[in-house]
Amino acid sequence: MPRRFDVVVVGGGNAALCAALSASEAGASVLVLEKAPEAERGGNTTFTAGAMRVVYRDAEDIYSLVPDLTAEEKEMTDFGSYDEGQFFDDMARITESRADADLTEVLVTRSFSTLSWMRSKGVRFLPIYGRQAFKVDGKFTFWGGLTLEVSGGGPGLVEALTSAAIKDGVEISYGSRALELVMDDTQVVGVRFRKDNKVTEVSAGGVVLAAGGFQSNTEWRARYLGPNWDLAKVRGTRFNTGDGISMALQANAMPWGHWSGCHAVGWEMNAPPFGDLRIGDSYQKHSYPFSIMVNAHGKRFVDEGADFRNYTYAKYGREILAQPGQFAWQVYDAKVIHLLRDEYRIREVTKVSADTIEGLAAKLDGVDAAAFLRTVADYNDSVGTDVPFNPNIKDGRRTSGLDVPKSNWANTIDQGPFEAYAVTCGITFTFGGIRINTDAAVIDCEENVIAGLYACGEMVGGVFYFNYPGGSGLTNGSVFGRIAGANAATSARKTPPA
Ligand SMILES: Cc1cc2nc3c(=O)[nH]c(=O)nc-3n(C[C@H](O)[C@H](O)[C@H](O)COP(=O)(O)OP(=O)(O)OC[C@H]3O[C@@H](n4cnc5c(N)ncnc54)[C@H](O)[C@@H]3O)c2cc1C
């Protein structure tokens, strides 16, 4: 007889662990099947900085999520607010109005209560002073709707959720790769998985799939995202190869969302093929709004200052992949080097510097130096310096007359020393997946609910298209993970053991 749990959760990242905690809170016995060995547990979640987008009305809401802020920190910070309307608008604008309205409503309206719930489980939040706020006139001002991160980043989040789950009696089986769903005539009743070269079946009253996207599957990348996506570097875990999606599709789940779309960023050119936990997300290079980015032809190819980096970074990886040789150089002059994020100061960077722009041009590997110098000269001539530079707002300091404009934060590149950093495309996660409803129940190809089957996190389609507002992936996984876990527990109560 297979072992029986009320709820089996497939995956060991943020969405899975939130589902496990929620199911357990509802009184269910829970087994988590995590494909990775314990040393590599936690999926993409472990690789994150732990930034989470959340609705808050005012500083008081932030204080309730971060109760240990000192009086001095409160005094020196302008948190502003980020209301439901702003989160909705960001989702609509960034996804070109394609995000599923019902799922988005749940994501937005439950974001604050879900982070409060996570806090009650032992997750600690902190303001993202280092990356999401600049100090102007003695005060930190937050921008771009992204204010909080988890203490300890992604590893801190996985540790906090795992500890809470174990404390609640959740059983976690590492090195356990789920292979397929077990179904009877009417519903999902278990999972078949492989551990230690042995295939085992576990029976369940409800199953939650939270096994991530397919970004680590080279063949699926080329198949669904298109030519050259097989050449992208993977920013996170090597274990997200589309298994959960595949298992659900075999059970007739409806494919949904932007299957040819993904989240991809500018990433250290010589990074390894998959994420490296020693480095975490520091291979990303996200200060490009203060740079110009040039390709092998010495030409600019995107508006680096189109918007705050939170709203452009996830789509610019695709633009870099489309350049000859799939690389670009970000070029900075001395005026802005102090603004570079901490990820620029790690040892594992492909960086060149020079006192003169001609000297820098000669060092940009793979770039037409003469064309690059013409680009810089034309760019410098086009910068309107009458508008003051302000990194905290979209300052409107822009170029005029260029084919590829720079719409904000346009500074001339004329003051040495100069620095340049080489980047390629790093894929974060895929947008396509399977369809769920607002109960996180999986919908089949005939638009019926598949009884006993729930899904959450990266492997769900329909939430993100084209682009992505920074920090919403974790919030999405937490909100729907919590819902999926509770509903799987309810499903288990309705399904007595066979
Ligand atoms: C470098 C980097 C930085 C990021 N920074 C942020 C950030 O700051 N904020 C933010 O909101 N988002 C960020 N993201 C995106 C974020 O990681 C994801 O949105 C989120 O972690 C997805 O959570 P998940 O639980 O759906 O997937 P994951 O955390 O990837 O978990 C999926 C799990 O499924 C397991 N699995 C896969 N196949 C099987 C199988 N067959 N059987 C059993 N288990 C299986 C995997 O081992 C893994 O544990 C970042 C991503 C990366 C890579």
Token pair belonging to 465: 């298209």
* Partner residues linked to 193 by β-bridges: 178, 200
Atom of ligand 1 nearest to the CA of 45: 21
Token pair belonging to 467: 């682009």
Is residue 51 within 6 Å of ligand 1 at its C-beta? yes
Token pair belonging to 431: 């947008």
First-to-last C-alpha distance (Å) of the chain:
10
Find the 45 Cα to ligand 1 centroid distance in Å. Answer: 4
Is residue 240 within 6 Å of ligand 1 at its C-beta? yes
Residue ID of nearest Cα to ligand 1 atom 18: 473
Q: Which of 351, 318, 323 is closest to 337 using CA atoms?
A: 351
Is residue 100 within 6 Å of ligand 1 at its C-beta? no
Contacts of 312 (CB under 8 A, 6+ apart): 289, 302, 306, 467
**Cα dihedral 487/488/493/495 (nearest 10):** 130
Residue ID of nearest Cα to ligand 1 atom 48: 43
* Distance of alpha carbon 383 from alpha carbon 401, whole angstroms: 9
Q: Which of 488, 374, 489, 477 is closest to 103 using CA atoms?
A: 477
DSSP 336-366: TGGG--GGGGSSS--EEEESSHHHHHHHSTT
Question: What pTM value is reported for the model?
Answer: 0.95
Mutate to test the pocket of ligand 1, among 32, 48, 217, 283 (most ligand atoms within 8 A of CB): 48
Atom of ligand 1 nearest to the CA of 36: 47
Is residue 237 within 6 Å of ligand 1 at its C-beta? yes
Residue ID of nearest Cα to ligand 1 atom 19: 473
Is residue 13 within 6 Å of ligand 1 at its C-beta? yes
pLDDT tens-digit profile, the chain (498 residues): 789 999 999 999 999 999 999 999 999 999 999 999 999 999 999 999 999 999 999 999 999 999 999 999 999 998 999 999 999 999 999 999 999 999 999 999 999 999 999 999 999 999 998 766 777 778 888 877 889 999 999 999 999 999 999 999 999 999 999 999 999 999 999 999 999 999 999 999 999 999 999 999 999 999 999 999 999 999 999 999 999 999 999 999 999 999 999 999 999 999 999 999 999 889 999 999 999 999 999 999 999 999 998 889 999 999 999 999 999 999 999 999 999 999 999 999 999 999 999 999 999 999 999 999 999 999 999 999 899 999 888 999 999 999 999 999 999 999 999 999 999 999 999 999 999 999 999 999 999 999 999 999 999 999 999 989 999 999 999 999 999 999 999 999 887 665
Find the 228 Cα to ligand 1 centroid distance in Å. Answer: 23
* Distance of alpha carbon 210 from alpha carbon 457, whole angstroms: 6
Find the 147 Cα to ligand 1 centroid distance in Å. Answer: 21
Find the 262 Cα to ligand 1 centroid distance in Å. Answer: 14
Is residue 178 within 6 Å of ligand 1 at its C-beta? yes
Ranges of H-type helices in 193-242: 218-220
Atom of ligand 1 nearest to the CA of 240: 37
Atom of ligand 1 nearest to the CA of 263: 15
Is residue 281 within 6 Å of ligand 1 at its C-beta? yes
Is residue 433 within 6 Å of ligand 1 at its C-beta? no
* Residue-wise pLDDT tens digits, 414-447: 999 999 999 999 999 999 999 999 999 999 999 9
Q: Which of 19, 52, 149 is closest to 475 using CA atoms?
A: 52
Is residue 419 within 6 Å of ligand 1 at its C-beta? no
Find the 429 Cα to ligand 1 centroid distance in Å. Answer: 8
Is residue 316 within 6 Å of ligand 1 at its C-beta? no
Find the 183 Cα to ligand 1 centroid distance in Å. Answer: 27
